[in-house]
Amino acid sequence: MSVLDSIIEGVREDLARRRKPLSQIHEQMSQSPSALDAYGALLGEQMKVIAEVKRSSPSKGELSTIADPAALAEQYQVAGASVISVLTEERRFKGSLADLAAVRARVTIPVLRKDFMIDEYQFFEARAYGADLVLLIVAALSKSQLRDFYDVATELGMASLIEVHTADELERALEISPKIVGVNSRNLKTLEVSQEAFADLIPRIPPSIVRVAESGIASRADVEFAQSAGANAILVGEALVTSGDTKLAMRKLLGQG
């Protein structure tokens, strides 16, 4: 079993435990504010940052306790982030839907629910807890699931970040005419990182699509490498949560001192 398979198995078990009747989720959705425009937030000439609230990871273990995710998200917004990513996977990343709700209530920029979306229920759940953007990992989904889940997210008013790691996955992603595609330099099946994925795949993504570089970005040189490949945005978690100074870390990544 690959790392990705193991994570998904846990996600299914946790989802079965917390699943509520759809009527309850629809009621919660009706009380949530309308989704913000995540796609629009990532447009522009300047490099955009999706800053991540991330306590732990399968590859590095515990990164930060993050007692107050909403306060951290607010710091990210003040430091110049365009979107906040909130891990909601419980076992490997120590996240929660409570984190998502807390962050949504505190910031005024779009929020990404970062999780392994494998069931339609999770999309209603994401909107109920205030997500404006969801992650669709091509490696974790069948061709029909990718299309169906993209359509469900769109119908609910949310944008989708379509994540790929290989040329084959990118080809599948482009078939659904996405607005945002992320290239993950980390192979989710082995957890190995190679930024050559940026150089190989980002130039293949049409310029009309927002191109996001994900994983392994820890320095200004990493950002410049991703940008030279054509990235419009970067998704950064570890480098920010372990920095000790969020604003300074963001400025360094963006070459602002």
The answer to whether 125 and 22 have CB atoms below 8 angstroms apart is no
3-state secondary structure of 180: strand
Q: Which of 89, 90, 163, 238 is catalytic?
A: 163
AA identity, residue 54: K
Residue with tokens 């030279």: 228
Look at residue 63 in the predicted model and tell me its pLDDT. 84
Q: Is 13 assigned a catalytic role? A: no
Residue 59, C-beta contacts closer than 8 angstroms, at least 6 positions apart:
186, 191
* Cα 31 from Cα 217, distance rounded (Å): 37
Class of the CATH domain delimited by 3-253: alpha beta
pTM exceeds cut of 0.85: yes
In DSSP notation, 117-164 reads --STHHHHHHHHTT-SEEEEEGGGS-HHHHHHHHHHHHHTT-EEEEEE
Q: Which of 48, 114, 125, 232 is catalytic?
A: 114
Ranges of residues in the chain with a pLDDT under 70 are 257
Look at residue 199 in the predicted model and tell me its pLDDT. 94
Domain regions of the chain by residue span: 3-253
DSSP 182: E
Q: Is 214 assigned a catalytic role? A: yes
Q: Which of 82, 184, 185, 232 is catalytic?
A: 184
Look at residue 85 in the predicted model and tell me its pLDDT. 98
* Cα 195 from Cα 213, distance rounded (Å): 9
Look at residue 257 in the predicted model and tell me its pLDDT. 67
Q: Is 189 assigned a catalytic role? A: no
* Cα 220 from Cα 218, distance rounded (Å): 7
Q: Is 232 assigned a catalytic role? A: no
* Cα 139 from Cα 181, distance rounded (Å): 13
Look at residue 47 in the predicted model and tell me its pLDDT. 96
Q: Is 48 assigned a catalytic role? A: no
